[in-house]
Structures are given as C-alpha cells and as structure tokens.
Amino acid sequence: MQVWDYTGLGYTRYNARDVGKECLGCVVENRVLHHSLLSSFQANEDFQKTFYPSRLTSMSLLSQSSAANKIIEQSDPKSRSSTVDQSKDKQQTLGGSSVKLDLSDGNSLYARLVVGADGSKSHVREMLALKTTRWNYSQNAVICSVEHTVENHCAWQRFLPSGPIALLPMGDRFSNIVWTMTPDESINHKSMPDDDFVKAVNHALDYGYGSYPQSGALDKYMEKFSRFTGLGAFSVTEGFQAPPKVVSVVSERMAFPLSLMHAHDYVSKRVVLIGDAAHTVHPLAGQGVNLGFGDACALAKVIADGISAGSDIGEVSLLLSLILDHNFW
C-alpha cells in the first residue's frame, strides 16, 4: 500500500512482508460476500429455516406480563394498527419473553434476540426510534471499476484538496476506484464520458495536483514509531512508485453522499445493533466493514458465553458486556 498527498512533501509505503504476512488485506465485492454468507447459511444444518429474500414489516416485544403488546413500528404508513398473536405456547417456548417479527412474505418469527445488522439506514434502528448523531459533511464518493495495462497488486491512496482518491486492486489488471469529492464535482465525474473520466483519474493520480514526492521523510518517522511500538508495517526499503495507468472504465459509475452516523445506544431490550446500523465512518481503507466484522465476532462470543452460562441472550445486562468487555466501537 502506498499513501501520499498532493503537496509532494512525503509518502509512506506499507508492505505485508514487513509484518510477515502474504497480504495486508483483500478487496472483496459486496455481491461475492453476500453469496458466500448465504451459501454458508444454507449449508449449515443448525439453521432451522432461512427466510430470504424477505423484509421486516413490524416488530413487537412480547412478555407474559403484557396484556397488550407494543407495536414498535408498522412499515405500511396506511396501517395504524396490528393484531399480534400472543400464543402462550410460543412465548413459553422462548422462556416467556421474546420479540415477534412480522415479515413481508407473511411469515412471523419469534426470537430472544434480534440483531440489527441492516446497514446505515437500519430499519431495526428506526423501529426502535433509537437516537443518532449525524454529520453530513458535503462530500460524495464516486465509485467504479477500472482496467490497467498491467497487473495491480498494490492499494494506492492519494489525498487531494477535495478528498482522497483510492485505487484498490481487484486481481489481474482490474481495480476499484473510490474518489471523494464535492457533490457538484461528483455529478460532473459521474456523467462525463468514459474517456474523460479515465483522463481525470490519471490526472488525479499523476502530476495533476503537484509533483511526486522526492523523499520518504515521513517513512523514516513512521519506521521509528514502528520500532517503538512494535506494531508497524512501514517500509522505507522501497522508493516512491508511480501508480499504474488506467486505460478504461469497466463498470457503471455511481455516486453517493458520505456522512458520519453514531447511534447513542447499541443495545435495547432483546435488540442489539452492529456494523453500519450502529456506526458509519468515512470510507477509508475498509475500516467501516472491518469494524462491522469485529462487531459480529464480538457479539458471537458474547452469545456463546451467555449460552454456556445459561443466561438469557436477550438480556440487556449480557449485551452490555459486548460494549464494556470487547472494545465495541
């Protein structure tokens, strides 16, 4: 990985060899990840039934002491009421307290714990009316896939006046572009002809905003920091390298607004938020998705520990340990 800015004052390179790894990371397409997860679910005999595709339409907390169940939200704005099946047998099967989930295909599910892992526009979070802090900072990301004349196995990131541009290897001669810019610039770059966009990308990665760095002064400081902390992957053995030229656009260009979002509470009665449903960050080096993977791993451990101890996995006290004991972001 090579990172530099438009001023030409310095750069830094990260090499997997410096930390004894084959690679620093992998770029995986979203559809490939979805397919892999779905295949894993379908092949796992522990799953009694999979509902896919479907959509959550309403959610209600059931308890033996409740005469009337509170409907958290009804997704159909024309419908203001709902009848909930309060079958005692179903509630007793789940220990007398559970969540009822109504799906768009007509099915209903009962569970001790609901995991809201449904993205930054989380339907689960909206149903719970959980408060969030948001910051819309007037930047958009333009994304697409491009082709080079040579193979690319390095991630390139250059910081420009309006935001960073990243060239992320996809294998062979293909890379993904993630380019942060102002909303007006994103409209222009999304709609311009492919040839003009290719020129703009090469301009941004080349001499368009200034010359290449002539020294790795920043690397030397980072190497000292690496030795001091024992955590580094900073390489000063390689000089600055020019990124590979882009020759064509091989996918549709898309643009979307960027914003920061942080839920005030990740945990509620029998519900927990993880991933982008709980927090979103600027798309930089895959930090957002890796935070989500970390959330999922931490939650899986909390659930496993709770089951081993005979605890109710939907109890707030157990779920709070996810935040207190597992460095939940």
Residue 34 lies in a domain: no
Same domain, 72 and 220: no
Q: What is the CATH number of the domain that holds 236?
A: 3.30.9.10
Same domain, 226 and 143: yes
Please identify which residue in the block is written with the tokens 């295949």: 39
What b-and-e string marks burial along 40-58, b requiring 16 or more CB atoms within 10 Å of the CB?
eeeeeeeeeeeeeeeebbb
Boundary of a domain, candidates 227, 257, 287: 257
Residue 302 has what pLDDT? 92
88 or 235, which is more confident?
235
pTM above 0.85, yes or no: no
Give the separation between CA 22 and CA 24, rounded to whole angstroms.
7
Residue 280 has what pLDDT? 94
The secondary structure element, H or E, covering residue 183 is: helix 183-191
At 40, the pLDDT band (50, 70, 90 cuts) reads: confident
258 or 74, which is more confident?
258
Give the separation between CA 195 and CA 251, rounded to whole angstroms.
13
Boundary of a domain, candidates 203, 238, 257: 257
How is residue 56 written in tokens?
A: 């959550």
Domain count, the chain: 2
Same domain, 159 and 20: yes
Which DSSP string do the residues of 10-53 spell out, in sequence order? -EEEE-GGGGT-S-S-----HHHHHHHHHHHHHH-TT-S----S
Same domain, 239 and 156: yes
Q: What is the CATH number of the domain that holds 318?
A: 3.50.50.60
Q: Is the pLDDT score of 78 beyond 70? A: no
Give the separation between CA 95 and CA 73, rounded to whole angstroms.
24
Q: Rounded mean pLDDT of 318-329?
A: 71
Same domain, 110 and 57: yes
Q: Is the pLDDT score of 42 beyond 70? A: yes
Residue 33 lies in a domain: no
User: Which residue(s) pair with 101 in the sheet?
Assistant: 59, 109
The secondary structure element, H or E, covering residue 305 is: helix 287-308
User: Which residue(s) pair with 146 in the sheet?
Assistant: 175, 249
Residue 141 lies in a domain: yes
At 88, the pLDDT band (50, 70, 90 cuts) reads: very low
Q: Rounded mean pLDDT of 93-104?
A: 76
Q: Rounded mean pLDDT of 194-202?
A: 97
Residue 275 lies in a domain: yes
Half-sphere exposure of 110 (CA within 13 A, CB side): 17
Same domain, 117 and 179: no
Give the separation between CA 43 and CA 18, rounded to whole angstroms.
38
Q: Rounded mean pLDDT of 92-105?
A: 75
In the chain, % of residues over pLDDT 90:
55
Residues contacting 142, CB < 8 A, separation 6+: 177, 178, 179, 181, 186, 189, 190, 253, 254, 255
Same domain, 144 and 163: yes
Q: Rounded mean pLDDT of 21-32?
A: 89
Q: Is the pLDDT score of 90 beyond 70? A: no
Give the separation between CA 210 and CA 189, rounded to whole angstroms.
21
Residue 258 has what pLDDT? 93
pLDDT tens-place string over residues 256-307: 999 999 999 999 989 999 999 999 998 888 889 999 999 999 999 999 999 9
Give the separation between CA 160 and CA 261, rounded to whole angstroms.
24
Which DSSP string do the residues of 202-252 spell out, in sequence order? HHHHTTTTSPPPS--HHHHHHHHHHHHHT---EE-SS---PPPPEEEE-S-
Same domain, 245 and 221: yes
72 or 308, which is more confident?
308
Residue 316 lies in a domain: yes
Q: Which of 210-219, 281-290, 320-329 has the highest mean pLDDT?
A: 281-290
Q: Is the pLDDT score of 47 beyond 90? A: no
Q: Is the pLDDT score of 189 beyond 90? A: yes
Residue 253 has what pLDDT? 98
Q: Is the pLDDT score of 214 beyond 70? A: no
Domain interval for residue 288? 52-131+264-325
Same domain, 199 and 119: no
Same domain, 214 and 247: yes
Residue 328 has what pLDDT? 55
Q: Are 178 and 159 in contact (CB under 8 A)?
A: no
At 81, the pLDDT band (50, 70, 90 cuts) reads: very low
Residue 9 has what pLDDT? 80
Same domain, 190 and 274: no
Residue 62 lies in a domain: yes
Kindly report which listed range (11-25, 52-66, 213-227, 281-295) carries the lowest average pLDDT score: 213-227
Q: Rounded mean pLDDT of 153-164?
A: 94
Same domain, 167 and 113: no
Residue 87 has what pLDDT? 39
